[in-house]
């Protein structure tokens, strides 16, 4: 039996928390500064999932504007500044998150977050949402030289959290989460309520859940009690 604990690794945006309102709100501030119209939240949700730089690029492409490298970097800095001041204006945990974390911890799981969000923003947001202290590691886009869908983002998060990679599970909402977990050889549970341009059940996760009340059971089916 491994001396390391089982571990559940979570994506953040669209998995643990509904953050689209603040992310797209910040994107729309940047679009407005450039004389472009706002993107409707319902249509722009699927642009989220690969980090702020990708969100900016996708958002401006959706508005019909291509960005030079220099302009993209400038907008990225502006995005971080504005978003950092509006992290939790409208963001909130999905129903059932706290109870699911309680159950997983009671079942012997260590918890971690692996997100393409900037690490400082991820830590701040999770603290504001009241669950930051639950995680042994909160690893963001620049925590390591790699980010999802690179599998090393997940495996290095597991190592930093002190979890057992042979008894790990990833919980996410997007292609990046699913592809990274598959490449790492880690089972993955996908939630249906997050941010994706393709229904998650078409992306080949090991389990799909529509509410966090389903998570402990799904995880128990995927992660052995002993290595």
Taken in order 130, 135, 137, 143, the sign of the CA dihedral is: negative
121 token code pair: 């923003």
Is residue 157 within 8 Å of 177, Cβ to Cβ?
no
The reply to whether 11 belongs to the active site is yes
Q: Which helix (H) or strand (E) holds 6?
A: strand 6-10
Q: What is residue 171's DSSP assignment?
A: E
Q: Which of 11, 13, 22, 177 is catalytic?
A: 11
Gap between the Cα atoms of 75 and 31, Å rounded: 10
Intra-chain end-to-end CA distance of the chain, in Å: 5
**Buried-exposed string 35-68: b where 16+ CB fall within 10 A, e elsewhere:** ebeebeeeebbbbbbbbbbebbbbbbebbeeebe
Please name which of 220, 178, 225 lies closest in space to residue 198, comparing C-alpha atoms.
Answer: 178
What is the pairing mode between strands 109-114 and 207-209? unpaired
Gap between the Cα atoms of 206 and 187, Å rounded: 6
Active-site residues: which are they? 11
């Amino acid at each position: 039996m491994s001396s390391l604990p089982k571990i559940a690794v979570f994506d953040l945006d669209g998995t643990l928390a509904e953050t689209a309102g603040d992310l797209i709100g910040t994107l729309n501030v940047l679009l407005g500064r450039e004389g472009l119209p706002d993107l409707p939240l319902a249509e722009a949700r699927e642009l989220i999932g690969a980090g702020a730089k990708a969100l900016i690029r996708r958002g401006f492409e959706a508005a019909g504007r291509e960005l030079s490298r220099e302009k993209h970097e400038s907008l990225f800095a502006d995005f971080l500044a504005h978003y950092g001041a509006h992290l939790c204006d409208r963001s909130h945990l999905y129903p059932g998150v706290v109870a699911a974390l309680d159950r997983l911890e009671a079942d012997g799981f260590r918890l971690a977050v692996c997100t393409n969000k900037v690490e400082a923003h991820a830590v701040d947001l999770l603290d504001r949402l009241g669950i930051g202290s639950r995680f042994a590691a909160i690893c963001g886009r620049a925590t390591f030289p790699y980010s999802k869908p690179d599998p090393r983002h997940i495996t290095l998060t597991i190592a930093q959290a002190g979890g057992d990679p042979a008894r790990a599970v990833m919980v996410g909402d997007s292609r990046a989460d699913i592809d990274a977990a598959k490449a790492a050889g880690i089972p993955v549970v996908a939630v249906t309520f997050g941010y994706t341009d393709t229904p998650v059940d078409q992306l080949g996760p090991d389990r799909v859940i529509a509410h966090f009340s389903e998570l402990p059971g799904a995880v128990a089916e995927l992660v052995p009690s002993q290595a």
